[in-house]
Structure 1
Amino acid sequence: MDPIIDFLNGILWNYVLVYGLLAVGVYFTLRLGFVQLRHFPEMVRAVLKAPQNDRGGITPFQALCTSLASRVGTGNLAGVAVALYLGGPGAIFWMWMVALVGMATAFAESSLAQLYKVRDAGGQFRGGPAFYIARGLKARWAAVLFSICLVLAFGLVFNAVQANSIADAMQGAFGLPKLGVGIALAALAGVVIFGGIRQIARVAQVVVPFMALAYLLVALYVVVANITEVPAVLALIVKSALGLEQAAGGVAGAMLNGIKRGLFSNEAGMGSAPNIAAVATPNPHHPCSQGLVQALGVFIDTLLICTATAIMILLSGVMTPGSELTGTPLTQEALSVHMGEWGRYFVALAILFFAFTSIIGNYSYAENAMVYMKAGGPAGLTALRAGTLLMVVWGAYESVATVFNAADAAMGLMATVNLVAICLLSGVVAKLARDYFAQRRQGVPRFDSGQYPELHGEIDLEIWGPDAKPRV
């Protein structure tokens, strides 16, 4: 089985996804007129506007925090260190580039998720790639395939990996037993996920801003303390990326590792974040407003948090020729240079928060997929929640290499399906964007289904019709 999985991963991750995700990001950047640059202030406004009151949805800020809960994980600490180790400082430049084009992809997939969302039996909004694949493309088989892969990868296996990272960090920093950490982690996660998506969103809107702000404040302290060296570090990143400075892996190595780690971290185009984007009640009442919110999520994940990790490592001087330090130990060593032994504990706590929120964020995506597959009743969701918690305990003390490879294959397959879908629906995205920004120039945008007769029969007019009203 392992050779088959390795072969599939080799094809998906070395060719299809690295080039496919990048190409789709460039395509949407050009087709949408550099939306991520021209309308960046609108992204911030879309998050900060007062939420609409609809008991079926969560607020845009909660949706942003929940998607960041999944996006911001161990990849932002350990993954950046691996990219630096394998590709040199230039890898960070290519992480920036892939995040910039990925913002356009995130805008596209999350706008579609909003447009094609529905209400479930309990009146709660549900949506995501499975819904726009089935409704917009009439390809139910592909929607089911996507949903199965999403549940396996995000609902189960990736949570075992996150738990493994937490257990390693807690054991290394505080000497805590891995099994005990796994049980405690499962108990804490259970309190959150058994409360459903609303509970996950409430926890995320408190924990995610706290953890992100704390991490960025530490990075700011390091930057200020070493301010005279910062310009040289930034210049090194750019020079290494363009081949003007000799670095590990050369230009090709920097590009490949930066792109891979950037895509893995920000998840733009993977089809994961749209699942929570669809649950939000947008303000203004237009699908594109949530697309803008999720594009901002990519910016925060990579251009802020990943960059913070990279700069702290490069300023520390611990990356020396011949050094075997990589991953979490490299990040810990860098922080210990800046902050003493306390830096190791800080990294362990950061991994705890980052990885824990990834577990609850990942689960929320899987719950949406279960609803699409008509398995979102009490029995189905209880089974998913139990499976998630068991994987957390198992992952805390077991090696998860083989299963992680299988999850990589599942995620690669779902991302491929999603990329094809959003490209086929790119005409809808372009029309939505033109409509939104034309209305924005006149005042407050509002979606008018009468301007989209081609979508009648595909979208839920109780949500997007002219007489649609919030359920308070």
Structure 2
Amino acid sequence: MESVATWLATNGDLFWTWVVLPIVVLLGLYLTIRSGVVQFRLFPEMFRTLGDRTPRDANGEPQSVSAFQAFTISAASRVGTGNIAGVATAIAVGGPGAVFWMWLMAFIGAASAFAESTLAQLFKVRDRDGFRGGPAYYMQRGLNARWLGVIFAVILIVCFPIAFSSLQANTIAAALDGAVASATGGSAPAWLPWVAGVVVALLTALVVFGGVRRIAHVTQAVVPLMALAYLLIGLAVVAVSWERIPQAVGTIFSDAFGYNEVVGAAFGYIVLTGIKRGMFSNEAGLGSAPNAGASAAVTHPVKQGLVQSLGVYFDTFLICSITAFIILTAVPDLAGAPVGLELTQIALVGALGDWSLLALAVIIFLLAFSSIIGNYYYGEASIEFISTRRSVLMGYRAFVVIAVLVGSVLSADVVWSFADAAMGFMALTNLVALALLSGIVFALLKDYQRQRRAGRDPVFTRDLLPGVSGIECWQDELSVTGPLEVPHRR
């Protein structure tokens, strides 16, 4: 098993270095320049659209989930073990400089996130819960390439609801194991991961069998709570070690452009580690968040593109940075530092004491469980793209629950390496489609800005893009905005 993990890690790094990385960077820069740096220029708009009124149907019911609920579904998947164990791994193997490249790629990647979620909104379709869509849908409807959409959907199902959710469950079990071992002064019982796995699997089943609206309600409650809790923990650590903050910031920038003697990481590996771990965490350009973005009921596709760009910033500049400063202020000497979750645990214990392990275990549970729910939803959108048979969907739900249980007790090494490879293929497929459809994104952005300059709350209808086929929704302004008044009910 160890040799398999080594083979996957080695070849995965080569694939990312020579294939995925250049495309991620070049396309992100292209979208940034052609859009006029939309991710910076329209930053205030991101917050305005986040609180938009949800259009309603003829019965006065929301057409689908709100812009904020779609944001929390995507944030639920983004904000997970990648923000704690993933950032710790990046720092341990790539040095503090990896954090700089995570930041830089989050900014560039926000343009890719904008483009993919804008396209997902444009080519979304109606279903029993509201709307669904994502890269598979804009590959079929925008590129007339259903075969490519099916390939992407299969890769996403393998990557997110199976591999990544298994990792989230594994991290929950590991955090609980560490907390129990610290509390008892010995090793945790061997059956503990199984108990953790059963509990998480049951909770997952309760949510995923309830449909997208239950997912939206759960994530709307959990995501702000977990972000606030982790923010408070991070601020407590930084307050204890406040005098080390200038040194930590200086190390992040100085190590970003050179060789790190402590961890033995060369410049290229520092860059690769930062970008790969950053992409795992914020998912910009990966093609996962658009599945949540497409589910929102908004009046213009660009609105959800802006909201999902904000999601990248929320994940990387807030949550990931908290982990980075927890580690770099509490553990300034990284020589011989452990990789992954254990490094974050050591930093917390050193700064706040043993009680922080239990607090971290609770936070990780919230982070990881919400990621499992978000990952599940991405897979559901892909399953329904491949087949609309109810039996297929129910079988998928059962399989996800089993994957969560099994992931709690497996070694994470092979799964991490396999997930990295799947993530690379998934990003590559999505980015090719983004490049081919980018002209539509710029046309939508131009229309949005034209309406804003005219003092309007932008509303899109498909007649505004007469040369684009495959658009199912956006028939007319009334169907997009919904009735102005809720009809009287007898």
- Where 2:467 maps in the other structure, the secondary structure is helix
Distance across 1 between alignment mates of 2:337 and 2:344: 13
Distance of aligned partners of 1:99 and 1:276 in 2 relative to their CA distance in 1, 3 Å threshold: same
Distance across 1 between alignment mates of 2:146 and 2:35: 28
Letter in 1 for 2:274: G
- Aligned with 1:144 (options 150, 157, 176): 150
- Aligned with 1:275 (options 261, 277, 291): 291
Distance across 2 between alignment mates of 1:154 and 1:407: 8
Between 383-392 and 149-158, report the one with greater CA deviation.
149-158
- Where 2:36 maps in the other structure, the secondary structure is coil
Distance across 2 between alignment mates of 1:235 and 1:111: 37
Distance across 2 between alignment mates of 1:47 and 1:454: 30
Between 30-39 and 398-407, report the one with greater CA deviation.
398-407
- Where 1:453 maps in the other structure, the secondary structure is coil
Contact 1:447 1:464 in 2 (8 A): no
Distance across 2 between alignment mates of 1:141 and 1:5: 27
Alignment match, 1:204: 219
Distance across 2 between alignment mates of 1:359 and 1:412: 20
Distance across 2 between alignment mates of 1:189 and 1:318: 38
- The Cα shift of 1:8 comes to 6.2
Alignment match, 1:314: 328
1:116 has 2:123 as partner: yes
Question: Deviation digits for residues 388-446 of structure 1, max 9, x if unmatched?
Answer: 00111111112354455444433322221110001000000111111112211222111
Distance across 2 between alignment mates of 1:65 and 1:324: 33
- Aligned with 2:375 (options 351, 362, 365): 362
Alignment match, 1:412: 424
1:17 has 2:27 as partner: no
Alignment match, 2:194: 179
Alignment match, 1:134: 140
Contact 2:90 2:277 in 1 (8 A): yes
1:90 has 2:93 as partner: no
Distance across 1 between alignment mates of 2:466 and 2:416: 44
Question: Deviation digits for residues 277-335 of structure 1, max 9, x if unmatched?
Answer: 000011xx1000000000000001111111110011111135342x2422111101101
Distance across 1 between alignment mates of 2:348 and 2:96: 17
Letter in 2 for 1:370: I
Contact 1:89 1:247 in 2 (8 A): no
1:170 has 2:161 as partner: no
Alignment match, 1:46: 49
- Residues paired across the two proteins, number: 465
Contact 2:155 2:422 in 1 (8 A): yes
Question: Deviation digits for residues 363-398 of structure 1, max 9, x if unmatched?
Answer: 000100111112x33211110110000111111112
Contact 1:313 1:319 in 2 (8 A): no
The TM-score, its normalising length taken from structure 2, stands at 0.90
Distance across 2 between alignment mates of 1:320 and 1:136: 48
Contact 2:119 2:441 in 1 (8 A): yes
Question: Deviation digits for residues 150-173 of structure 1, max 9, x if unmatched?
Answer: 112212222112111111111221
Give the gaps of 5 or more residues in structure 2.
181-187
Alignment match, 1:65: 72
- Where 1:77 maps in the other structure, the secondary structure is helix
Question: Deviation digits for residues 162-219 of structure 1, max 9, x if unmatched?
Answer: 1111111112212361111101110011111111111111100000000011111221
Matches within 5 A, 1:278-357: 278-282=294-298, 285-317=299-331, 319-321=333-335, 323-357=336-370
- The Cα shift of 1:246 comes to 5.8
Q: CA RMSD in A?
A: 2.2
The TM-score, its normalising length taken from structure 1, stands at 0.93
Distance across 1 between alignment mates of 2:334 and 2:478: 64
Between 234-243 and 415-424, report the one with greater CA deviation.
234-243
Alignment match, 2:277: 261
Distance across 1 between alignment mates of 2:266 and 2:356: 31
Letter in 2 for 1:315: T
Between 14-23 and 289-298, report the one with greater CA deviation.
14-23
Distance of aligned partners of 1:230 and 1:405 in 2 relative to their CA distance in 1, 3 Å threshold: closer
1:125 has 2:140 as partner: no
Distance of aligned partners of 1:7 and 1:318 in 2 relative to their CA distance in 1, 3 Å threshold: closer
- Aligned with 1:189 (options 204, 222, 231): 204
- The Cα shift of 1:4 comes to 8.7
- Where 2:458 maps in the other structure, the secondary structure is coil
- The Cα shift of 1:6 comes to 6.3
Distance of aligned partners of 1:153 and 1:244 in 2 relative to their CA distance in 1, 3 Å threshold: closer
Contact 1:99 1:299 in 2 (8 A): yes
Alignment match, 2:184: none
Letter in 1 for 2:212: I
Contact 2:124 2:137 in 1 (8 A): yes
- Aligned with 1:460 (options 472, 480, 483): 472
Distance across 2 between alignment mates of 1:84 and 1:430: 36
Alignment match, 2:185: none
Contact 2:459 2:477 in 1 (8 A): no
Distance of aligned partners of 1:144 and 1:309 in 2 relative to their CA distance in 1, 3 Å threshold: same
Distance across 2 between alignment mates of 1:413 and 1:391: 21
Distance across 2 between alignment mates of 1:105 and 1:35: 10
Contact 1:87 1:247 in 2 (8 A): no
Percent same amino acid at aligned positions? Answer: 45
Distance of aligned partners of 1:332 and 1:437 in 2 relative to their CA distance in 1, 3 Å threshold: same
